[in-house]
Every structure is written in structure tokens, then in C-alpha cells.
Amino acid sequence: MIEPNALKKLGEILGPGGLIKDAVGLTCYSYDAMPYSPEGNQRVMPDAVALPRDADQVCEIVSLANEFRFPIVPRGAGTGMTGGARPTMGGLVLAFSRMNNMEILDKDLTARVQPGVITSRIQQEAERAGLFYPPDPASSEACTIGGNIAENAGGLRAVKYGVTRDYVLGLDAVLGDATRIKAGAKTVKSVAGLDMVSLLAGSEGTLGLVLEAWLKLLPLPESRCTLLALFETADQAASAAPAILTARLDPTALEFMDRYTIECVADQLDELGTNIPGAMLLVELDGGIGDTKRRIRDVRSICTDLGAYNTRISDSEEAREQLWKARKAISPALGKLAPFKIDEDVAVPRSRLAELVRGAGEIGLKNGLKCACYGHAGDGNLHVNYLVPAGEKPAGAEKVARELFELAISLGGTISGEHGIGTAKRMYLELETGRAGLDIMASVKQALDPKGIMNPGKLLPKDYDTMPGYVRKNTE
């Protein structure tokens, strides 16, 4: 447990209302959106929750954690799917909700943001200035930019615009040893030294904490247009995705939904009526008005040629928003079909997408589970959900997940396209990286966080844990 003297000093650093210690408050910060972990979902209560107001307070807290050696668990909005914001051994949850200032620097096409800024707010403020922040995670209405950077979040528009890391120009950060650094720059181009921005982005809070970030913005596209294409089979839809890409039509988003996922959100898709197709693609284009309309017609032709029996184009903002609202609602809506799901986000080369869909379904069939697939067909990143019937325990979940990961790797893919590793996948990481890769990651961790205080129990497997002696007894 955090020593009483350390708790006293935390209270002095944070001031009135800045430190949560009551049972109800601690419970609220003891979990995130992770549906399941092979290591178990036993909830571990933090000793306290810090709500810092500025970067100096955060740096003081990290120094204190090194002095008294207690864990720090960074937290944005808790929307992560792999347990990255969950305490694993008590310690201090450091929540950034109060650090939510931002500024759009329109002449430089950049934004200066603190880690607690909600992602959709960045998008909205940029659009008011005629600019565009492309990364668009499904949880954008709730997730924060600090969490996005920590997880290197992807999202719907990654096929054209890339992921969060591609828009982080520079960072103000504090490392695990309490060293405060400036990484990258405020400029579009910078090659001064090692790329510390890319090292920190995606490190899941295990190396340090983001205090402020400078983000790259783009000019706002003149128009957007979305096509909905319905197919008889999932194989047809999955095969159409790479065909659209190789036709050089440059989609902004290219999303796949199978029959099970369509059922979950059918009430939000008026275009379907009572007909539930075998699979569906949602394709969005942006750019100049005339060019967008030409390219969306070409996309429609490709889909029709490859088996789409119905296609509809939505170019009004209201119609488009309804389609994407339905798409973003899929993950929570899957609870309509089953109360428990094994939710994985593997990615494969785009030419192997149809093989992934077929193979994932075969794994489910073999294990007696429904398999619901949806996600980012444009970049080969699918969310594969194995649905566990009511009243059943997730027996064999580790076996099912391992089989899926082995399938993805055999197709030249990865065990996580955007959710990260956290606690949910750390036992499988060696499948992809090998032991040598794990050893290198552990060496970096040791160099930047020598006392192992930063988000312990995450990303690297158990035998690499850096605080094995720090154990909490008051678990639920």
C-alpha cells in the first residue's frame, strides 16, 4: 500500500479535492472497458486517485512515486479495451480529466492540447477553424487524446490518414525516472536525434506520461460522401475491400460488417428495412465535390461487379452521420446477442482479409461460439468477437484467442491493430515478437523507468513484471 506519509504528501501536492481516497471513488477508477482478460477480471482497488491540474503537479507525483516506490496507473477516460487503465496491484491512478486545455494554432495548422482533452472536441474545434484532425476512434465522444497517444489509437479513417502517432509532432512528457523531456518539435519536419515521440506513442503508459502534445492538422476536405453496399456473403464483401483500394479511389474509411453485427444496429439503419444482408461495406470518400462524386460512383460499380445486390449513396451530412453513428454503436450493441464476448482486434495484410474472416468463423464453429466480425477492412484491422451465451462462463477463452492470434500471424498479421496489449494480450505478445523482441522492450523499460513504477503489469508478460513484490490484498 502507499505509505501514509506518501499519501499526506500527495494531498499537499494536489490541494483540496485533488486526491480521492473514499471507497466509492476508488471503485470508479478500478476498471476500464476491457470485456475480458485471460488473467482474470478480478478488480483491484487503487490506494488513491490523483486529479492533477497541471504538468508541475504530475512531475512532483512521479518524483514522489520514485521516492516511495508505488505504482502509477495513468488514465484518460477508461475507454481502452485491453485493461491499460486498470490497477493491477493497487497504487495510484493518475487521472488527467482536469488537464483539458487546448488551443488551435490555425496559421501553423497545429493544435496544442493537454492529455485530458476529449478527442471529439479536438475534431470540432479544428473544423470551426476550417481544419481537420483525422484520427477518429469509435469512442471519440468519450476518449481523450492522452489515452489515444498512449495506445496509438487508430479508428475509422486510418485507411487514408493513418493513426494517432502520425499526427503527433511533439510532446512534453515526464519519464518513469521523473525526467521531464521535450520530444519531437512544433514543426512538421524534425530529425534531431532519436524519434522519442514514436517510442512514447503506443507505449501504453509504461515508459512515461504525456503532459502536453502538439498535433498536426490538415485543411478541412470540401465534401464527404458515404456509400452503403449490401452483399449476400461476408466473403464477397471482404473481397471487395482490396479491390476498391487497388483501384486508387483513396477511401477515407472502408468498414466491414457481417450479419451478426448488422443485426445489432439494424434499428439505426433505415436503409435496410427488414432485410438483414450477409455482410455490408460502408465506404466514405472526401475531397473536392466533383471528384468525390465521381469516385463514389466508381466504388459503387466495383461493389456491384463483386456481388453487391444493393448500394445507396448518402451525401447529406445528416444521412452520413446516421450511418457512422450506427457503425460506432456496434461494440456495445453486441450485448444484445450475448452478455459476454471475447473481443479481439487482429490485423492482416489487406489482401488476406477474406481469409481472416473465414478462418475466424471456423475457429468459432469449432469451439461452439458465434463469431461476429466488423471493422476496418481498408487497413486489414478487424474486430473479431466470439459471443458466449447467457449463463455460460468463458471457458476456453484463452484457447480461442490464441487460435485467432496464431491465424492472424500466419497470414502475416498482428495480434493487435489498435487496442494495444495491456493485461488482456500480454501473455500472447511473444507469439509475434519472439523472446528477443520482449527482451529489447524490457531493456527500454528499465532505462526509462528503472524502478518500474509506470503502469506495471501491462504490455510485457508476467515474467517481466518490474514490481512483483507490490501486492494489494483488498481485491473484490
Region for 47 from its dihedrals, namely left if φ exceeds 0, alpha if ψ lies in -120 to 50, beta otherwise: alpha
Q: Looking at the domain assignment, is residue 121 inside a domain?
A: yes
Q: Looking at the domain assignment, is residue 43 inside a domain?
A: yes
Phi, psi (deg, nearest 5) at residue 72: -115, 125
The confidence score (pLDDT) of residue 475 equals: 40
Q: Looking at the domain assignment, is residue 394 inside a domain?
A: yes
Q: Looking at the domain assignment, is residue 274 inside a domain?
A: yes
Q: What angle do CA 304, 310, 311 make, to 5 degrees?
A: 75
Looking at the structure, do residues 125 and 201 belong to the same domain, yes or no?
yes
Q: Which residues contact 287 (CB under 8 A, 6 or more apart)?
A: 221, 222, 223, 250, 295
Looking at the structure, do residues 264 and 365 belong to the same domain, yes or no?
no
The three grid cell numbers given for residue 55, joined into one nine-digit string: 504538468
The confidence score (pLDDT) of residue 137 equals: 93
Q: Which residues contact 17 (CB under 8 A, 6 or more apart)?
A: 51
CATH code of the domain containing 156: 3.30.465.10
Looking at the structure, do residues 177 and 122 belong to the same domain, yes or no?
yes
The confidence score (pLDDT) of residue 474 equals: 40
pTM of the model: 0.94
Nearest CA to 269 out of 313, 337, 327 is that of: 327
CATH code of the domain containing 291: 3.30.70.2190
Phi, psi (deg, nearest 5) at residue 301: -65, -40
Q: Max CA-CA distance within the chain?
A: 70
Q: Looking at the domain assignment, is residue 447 inside a domain?
A: no
The confidence score (pLDDT) of residue 111 equals: 98
Q: Per-residue confidence of the chain (476 residues) as pLDDT tens digits?
A: 899 999 999 999 999 999 999 999 999 999 998 876 666 667 899 999 999 999 999 999 999 999 999 999 999 999 999 999 999 999 999 999 999 999 999 999 999 999 999 999 999 999 999 999 999 998 999 999 999 999 999 999 999 999 999 999 999 999 999 999 999 999 999 999 999 999 999 999 999 999 999 999 999 999 999 999 999 999 999 999 999 999 999 999 999 999 999 988 888 887 676 678 999 999 999 999 999 999 999 999 999 999 999 999 998 888 898 889 889 889 888 877 777 888 899 999 999 999 999 999 999 999 988 899 999 999 999 999 998 876 565 667 788 999 999 999 999 999 999 999 999 999 999 999 999 999 999 999 999 999 999 999 999 999 999 876 554 444 44
Looking at the structure, do residues 107 and 211 belong to the same domain, yes or no?
yes
Query: CA 219 to CA 347: how far, in whole Å?
Result: 29
Last residue of a domain, one of 275, 308, 331: 331
Neighbouring C-alpha atoms within 13 Å toward the C-beta of 31 = 14
With contact defined as beta carbons under 8 Å apart, do 382 and 363 qualify?
A: no
CATH code of the domain containing 392: 3.30.70.2740
Q: Looking at the domain assignment, is residue 27 inside a domain?
A: yes
Q: Looking at the domain assignment, is residue 472 inside a domain?
A: no
Last residue of a domain, one of 282, 311, 331: 331
Nearest CA to 19 out of 47, 55, 60, 59 is that of: 47
Looking at the structure, do residues 246 and 292 belong to the same domain, yes or no?
yes
Q: Print the domain residue range for 91.
A: 4-97
The confidence score (pLDDT) of residue 473 equals: 40
The confidence score (pLDDT) of residue 276 equals: 87
Number of domains in the chain: 4
Looking at the structure, do residues 64 and 134 belong to the same domain, yes or no?
no
Looking at the structure, do residues 106 and 212 belong to the same domain, yes or no?
yes
Q: Looking at the domain assignment, is residue 438 inside a domain?
A: no
Nearest CA to 200 out of 227, 170, 234 is that of: 170
Looking at the structure, do residues 187 and 288 belong to the same domain, yes or no?
no
Looking at the structure, do residues 198 and 239 belong to the same domain, yes or no?
no
The confidence score (pLDDT) of residue 391 equals: 56
The confidence score (pLDDT) of residue 433 equals: 97
Q: Which residues contact 110 (CB under 8 A, 6 or more apart)?
A: 169, 186, 214, 215, 216, 217
Query: CA 388 to CA 369: how far, in whole Å?
Result: 6
Looking at the structure, do residues 375 and 409 belong to the same domain, yes or no?
yes
With contact defined as beta carbons under 8 Å apart, do 388 and 371 qualify?
A: no
Looking at the structure, do residues 322 and 390 belong to the same domain, yes or no?
no
